[in-house]
């Protein structure tokens, strides 16, 4: 597999990593229609665990079948497909070698009492990722939760094992928990903090949410105002989050969130592109659409990240 100069420059930022980890990052970065550009679109399908099957798949019933998601990611020319253990296992043999996969190794669900600490259970292992031919593991942390320190400890150990075995690590860094109100979960100062935490935990790819211009922490707000940090536009906020993850030395993708109109999806992608982000990890906004519509939308997203739309 050849790598482009863009990908080689990205891999050079991971100075402490093994050749195995870099090879798996290269597989993701070189795959699909954005291969070699340094941009990525990843299909994540962990919503069945998080939200339940009907909320996830009833809007497009073929999506109940795990093979549907593998094929969607392949047909759309995406960089990778991410899912929990059962989903990956259900198609690992049929689609072996056709698309890089990311094994989501922890999960939560909507049946947990609302007043319980926000956390996730570890549901798969690094050895599962190796057995299934995955390029990376994916792990969610919840900065802002009283359980966050335990989650940080869990991924620190799992990331160490994964790196030793040549598997890359993707960290979903989602502010959530008792320390945050609803506005705080998407505030720019919290989003940038979440990106920094993921980078410091050793994430090779960081996944965060797009943020608002709200400032949640009083001490941080003073600094943002005193230093004139630009957070006026979505592109500026993306740029600040990228800066917060080692000044762009770590790959960063942004989640698509709940299903919305295609124009909003495209606007988000342009902001991510213009702000220096590496791409989108977009689930419900793709697999809840009819496949033809999803392919058309994903195709335009590729064009946006290529600077053609």
Tokens 């124009």, located at residue: 263
Q: Which of 68, 70, 81, 174 is catalytic?
A: 174
User: Is 84 in contact with 50 (CB distance < 8 Å)?
Assistant: no
Q: Which of 207, 209, 224, 305 is catalytic?
A: 207
Q: Is 174 noted as a catalytic residue in this protein? A: yes
Q: Is 207 noted as a catalytic residue in this protein? A: yes
The number of C-alpha atoms within 13 Å of 217 and in the hemisphere containing its C-beta is: 15
SS (H, E, C) the chain: CCCCHHHHHHHHCCCCCCHHHHHHHHHHHHCCCCCCCCCEEEEECCHHHHHCHHHHHHHHHHHHCHHHHHHHHHHCCCCEEEEEHHHHHCCCCCCCCCCCEEEECEECCCCCCCCCCCCCEECCCHHHHHHCCCCEEEEEECCCCCCHHHHHHHHHHHHHHHHHCCCEEEEEECCCCCCCCHHHHCEHHHHHHHHHHHHHCCCCEEEECCCECCCCCHHHHHHHHHHCCCCCCHHHHHHHHHHHCCCCCCEEEEECCCCCCHHHHHHHHHHHHHCCCCEEECCHHHHCCCHHHHHHHHHHHHHHHCCCC
Q: Token pair for residue 224?
A: 């943002």
Active-site positions read: 174, 207
């Amino acid at each position: 597999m050849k790598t482009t100069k863009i990908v080689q420059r990205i891999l050079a930022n991971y100075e402490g990593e093994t050749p195995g980890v870099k090879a798996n990052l290269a597989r993701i970065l070189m795959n699909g229609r954005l291969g070699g550009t340094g941009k990525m679109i990843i299909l994540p399908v962990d919503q069945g665990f998080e939200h339940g099957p009907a909320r996830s798949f009833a809007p497009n019933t073929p999506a109940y079948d795990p093979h549907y998601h593998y094929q969607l990611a392949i047909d759309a020319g995406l960089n990778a497909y991410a899912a929990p253990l059962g989903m990956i296992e259900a198609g690992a043999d049929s689609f072996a070698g056709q698309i890089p996969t990311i094994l989501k190794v922890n999960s939560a669900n909507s049946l947990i009492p609302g007043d319980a600490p926000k956390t996730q259970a570890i549901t798969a292992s690094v050895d599962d990722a190796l057995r299934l031919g995955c390029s990376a593991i994916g792990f969610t942390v919840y900065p802002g939760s009283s359980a966050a320190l335990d989650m940080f400890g869990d991924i620190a150990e799992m990331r160490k094992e994964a790196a030793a075995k040549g598997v890359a690590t993707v960290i979903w860094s989602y502010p959530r928990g008792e320390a945050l109100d609803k506005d705080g979960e998407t505030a720019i100062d919290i989003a940038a903090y979440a990106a920094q935490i993921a980078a410091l935990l050793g994430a090779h790819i960081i996944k965060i949410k797009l943020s608002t211009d709200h400032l949640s922490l009083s001490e941080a707000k003073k600094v943002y105002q005193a230093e004139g940090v630009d957070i006026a536009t979505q592109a500026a906020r993306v740029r600040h989050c990228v800066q917060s993850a080692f000044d762009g030395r770590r790959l960063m993708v942004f989640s698509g969130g709940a299903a919305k109109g295609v124009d909003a999806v495209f606007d988000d992608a342009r902001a991510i592109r213009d702000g220096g982000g590496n791409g989108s990890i977009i689930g419900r906004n793709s697999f809840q659409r009819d496949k033809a519509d999803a392919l058309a939308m994903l195709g335009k997203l590729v064009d946006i990240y290529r600077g053609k739309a």
